[in-house]
């Protein structure tokens, strides 16, 4: 902030490149006593200068245009810390008579618009265009440009005059025009800082602004661009003289708009109280996490219990059904067997039915053969009167059957009598 104080003017303009020098006695010394801004904006007592990137030393241009939104960000994020700034004189002694910090710097720019601008952006509609065919609520840029005008042009339909305090000992040269988006938009961010003190300027005193007035200024700047044709049909055209779409212009416009919108929030200070609060918060969070985990565990246990109960009920039901079904099946088989022997095959597995059928056929054939043998034996017994005991098959009763010594009739003998 000390370097900024010695390289800026009352209007808020800042030099692109400035010099600081606190030379040490030996080149291998890392640090030494000195006042870096003793000769700022020059480099040392020899009044050296420096520049780079195609921008000029000692003038307000593309390099320096970033300073306003940087100060606005500092104030937005650290409103308390950015107020506590000590300014030292060129000999390194604290000078309490100098009031300078982020808010004071931003108020310089706000004062320049209020003092030199040709319209009052603090009033609703105060900077609306007044020429034929212009859109409602569209802010006219030309009256606002007067606050940072760098050209004297007394003739023509739009005469201009160089604005006061754009140059001073700290910024000795005029810079680039306000009409470049990267020059104008950063200055709009100045109104995020409260304007709470009276400001004296030659011939006039500006009283503090209310919050509503500051907000109205921000709204005035936000309506300086026309986005009605920013679509495919309108070929993404943006209306407005300071609303360019090329990279460097657009980047400054976007950053500035972000700051103006209030997106930059105040950051909490690092204090012991904050540490304790965070510690307590962490402890509470851990406690909540443990309780949550415990609830989930109980929930899972209950689910498992319910699952086991359901399985038990299903299993018991199946057992009862199976037992009941088994009894019913037995009853059905016996009943069917009594009614019709042939239906028993429906209880025989399909892959065994063929074997069962063959076995049944063989048994039936055996029975017929046995009956035929008995019949033949009876006939021969009747003819010859012989008797013999014939054991039909093991396990059966021995029956006294009259048979002959042969099971064939004599007439069935071979022709040779054997």
pLDDT at position 189: 97
Residue 378 vs residues 96, 375, 384, 418: alpha-carbon distances, Å: 154, 5, 10, 24
Q: How confident is the model at residue 410 (pLDDT cuts 50, 70, 90)?
A: very low
Helices (H), 127-270: 141-145, 181-188, 211-222, 247-260
The mean pLDDT value for 249-270 works out to 88
Assess contact for 50 and 57: CB atoms under 8 A: yes
For residue 41, say if its preceding peptide bond is cis, omega within 30 degrees of 0: yes
pLDDT at position 331: 59
Condensed to tens digits (0 to 9), the pLDDT of residues 328-374 reads 655 555 555 555 444 444 444 555 556 656 766 777 777 777 777 76
Condensed to tens digits (0 to 9), the pLDDT of residues 218-259 reads 999 999 998 888 899 988 888 888 998 899 999 999 999 999
What is the total residue count of the chain?
418
- Tokens representing residue 406 in the block: 């042969």
The mean-pLDDT minimum among 12-16, 70-74, 207-211, 381-385 falls in: 381-385
pLDDT at position 151: 94
Q: How confident is the model at residue 406 (pLDDT cuts 50, 70, 90)?
A: very low
CA torsion 219-222-228-232 (nearest 10°) is: -150
Condensed to tens digits (0 to 9), the pLDDT of residues 180-193 reads 999 999 999 999 99
DSSP annotation of 280: H
Task: Give the whole-number percent of the chain exceeding pLDDT 90.
Answer: 49
Whether 40 shows a pLDDT value over 70: the answer reads yes
- Tokens representing residue 160 in the block: 């201009």
Assess contact for 32 and 22: CB atoms under 8 A: yes
Residue 208 vs residues 194, 214, 259: alpha-carbon distances, Å: 8, 10, 22
The secondary element (H helix, E strand) that includes residue 206 is strand 204-206
pLDDT at position 397: 43
Which residue's entry shows tokens 């086991």? 308
Whether 398 shows a pLDDT value over 50: the answer reads no
Return the half-sphere exposure (C-beta side, CA atoms, 13 A cut-off) of residue 333.
Answer: 11
Residue 201: CB atoms within 10 Å: 15
Q: How confident is the model at residue 132 (pLDDT cuts 50, 70, 90)?
A: confident
Task: Give the span between the Cα atoms of 418 and 416, in whole angstroms.
Answer: 6
Mean pLDDT, all residues of the chain: 81
φ and ψ at 25, to 5 degrees? -70, -30
- Tokens representing residue 100 in the block: 């300078």
The mean-pLDDT minimum among 108-112, 113-117, 182-186, 230-234 falls in: 230-234
The mean-pLDDT minimum among 112-126, 149-163, 182-196 falls in: 149-163
Residue 291 vs residues 284, 287, 296, 303, 324: alpha-carbon distances, Å: 11, 6, 9, 18, 49
pLDDT at position 274: 66
Predicted TM-score (pTM) of the model is 0.64
Dihedral angle sign, alpha carbons of residues 95, 97, 103, 104: negative
The mean pLDDT value for 6-16 works out to 96
The mean pLDDT value for 188-202 works out to 95
Task: Give the span between the Cα atoms of 412 and 102, in whole angstroms.
Answer: 143
Task: Give the span between the Cα atoms of 109 and 219, in whole angstroms.
Answer: 17
The mean pLDDT value for 92-107 works out to 96
């Amino acid at each position: 902030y000390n370097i900024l104080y010695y390289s800026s003017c009352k209007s808020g303009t800042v030099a692109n490149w400035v010099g600081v020098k606190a030379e040490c006695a030996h080149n291998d010394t890392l640090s030494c006593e000195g006042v870096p801004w003793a000769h700022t904006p020059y480099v040392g007592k020899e009044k050296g200068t420096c520049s780079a990137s195609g921008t000029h030393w000692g003038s307000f241009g593309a390099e320096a245009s970033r300073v306003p939104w940087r100060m606005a960000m500092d104030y937005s994020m650290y409103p308390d810390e950015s107020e506590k700034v000590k300014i030292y004189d060129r000999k390194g002694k604290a000078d309490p008579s100098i009031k300078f910090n982020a808010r004071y710097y931003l108020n310089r720019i706000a004062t320049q618009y209020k003092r030199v601008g040709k319209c009052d952006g603090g009033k609703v509609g105060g900077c609306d265009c007044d020429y034929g065919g212009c859109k409602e609520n569209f802010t006219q840029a030309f009256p606002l440009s007067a606050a940072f005008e760098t050209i004297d042009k007394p003739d023509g339909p739009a005469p201009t005059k160089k604005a006061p305090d754009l140059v001073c000992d700290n910024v000795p040269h005029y810079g680039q025009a306000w009409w470049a988006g990267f020059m104008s938009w950063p200055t709009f961010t100045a109104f995020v800082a409260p304007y709470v003190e009276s400001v004296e300027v030659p011939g006039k005193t500006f009283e503090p602004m209310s919050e509503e007035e500051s907000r109205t200024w921000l709204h005035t700047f936000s309506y300086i661009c026309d986005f009605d044709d920013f679509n495919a049909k309108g070929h993404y055209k943006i209306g407005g003289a300071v609303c360019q779409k090329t990279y460097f212009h657009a980047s400054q416009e976007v950053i500035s708009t972000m700051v103006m919108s209030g997106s930059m929030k105040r950051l909490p200070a690092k204090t012991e109280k904050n540490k304790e609060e965070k510690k307590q918060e962490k402890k509470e969070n851990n406690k909540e996490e443990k309780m949550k985990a415990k609830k989930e565990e109980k929930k899972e246990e209950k689910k498992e219990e319910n699952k086991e109960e359901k399985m038990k009920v299903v299993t018991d039901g199946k057992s009862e059904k199976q037992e009941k079904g088994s009894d019913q099946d037995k009853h059905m088989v016996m009943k069917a067997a009594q009614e019709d022997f042939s239906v028993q095959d429906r209880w025989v597995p399909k892959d065994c039915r063929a074997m069962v059928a063959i076995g049944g056929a063989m048994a039936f054939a055996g029975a017929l053969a046995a009956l035929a043998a008995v019949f033949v034996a009876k006939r021969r017994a009747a003819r010859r009167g012989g008797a013999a005991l014939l054991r039909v098959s093991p396990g059966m009763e021995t029956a006294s059957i009259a048979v002959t010594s042969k099971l064939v009739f004599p007439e069935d003998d071979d022709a040779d009598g054997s």
